[in-house]
Homo-oligomer: A and B are copies of this chain.
Amino acid sequence: MKEIFSNGTAKGRPGGEAAPAPAALAAKVRTLAPSMTRSMQRVAEAVAADPAGCAALTVTGLAELTGTSEATVVRTARLLGYPGYRDLRLALAGLAAQQQSGRAPSVTADIAVDDPIADVVAKLAHDEQQTLADTAAGLDTIQLGAAVTALAAARRTDIYGVGASGLVAQDLAQKLLRIGLVAHAHSDPHLAVTNAVQLRTGDVAIAITHSGSTGDVIEPLRVAFDRGATTVAITGRPDGPVSQYADHILTTSTARESELRPAAMSSRTSQLLVVDCLFTGVTQRTYETAAPALSASYEALAHRHSPRTR
| A binding-site residues for B, Cβ under 8 Å | 5-11, 22-23, 34-35, 37, 55-58, 60-61, 89-91, 93-98, 100-102, 111, 113-115, 117-118, 120-122, 124-125, 128-129, 132-133, 135-136, 139, 141, 144-145, 148, 162-164, 167, 170-171, 174-175, 178, 211-216, 218, 237, 239-241, 259-262, 264-265, 268-269, 272-273, 276-277, 280-281, 283-284, 287, 291, 294, 298, 301, 304-310
Contact = CB atoms under 8 A, between A and B. Distances in A.
Contacts of A35: 309-310
30 contacts: A6-B58, A7-B58, A8-B56, A8-B58, A8-B61, A9-B56, A23-B97, A90-B93, A93-B97, A94-B94, A95-B97, A97-B98, A111-B280, A114-B284, A118-B141, A121-B136, A121-B144, A125-B136, A129-B133, A162-B304, A163-B174, A167-B167, A167-B171, A167-B174, A211-B309, A213-B308, A215-B306, A261-B280, A262-B294, A272-B272
Contact of A273 (B124, B262, B281): B124
A9 B60 CA distance: 13
B174 A22 contact: no
Nearest to A142: B117
Nearest to A114: B284
A144 to B, nearest CB: 6
A97 B132 CA distance: 21
A290 to B, nearest CB: 9
Contacts of A175: 264
A148 to B, nearest CB: 7
Contacts of A124: 136, 273, 276-277, 280
Contact of A216 (B8, B262, B304): B304
B240 A309 contact: yes
A252 to B, nearest CB: 12
A218 B294 CA distance: 25
Given A125-B136, A284-B115, A305 B215 contact: yes
Nearest to A97: B94
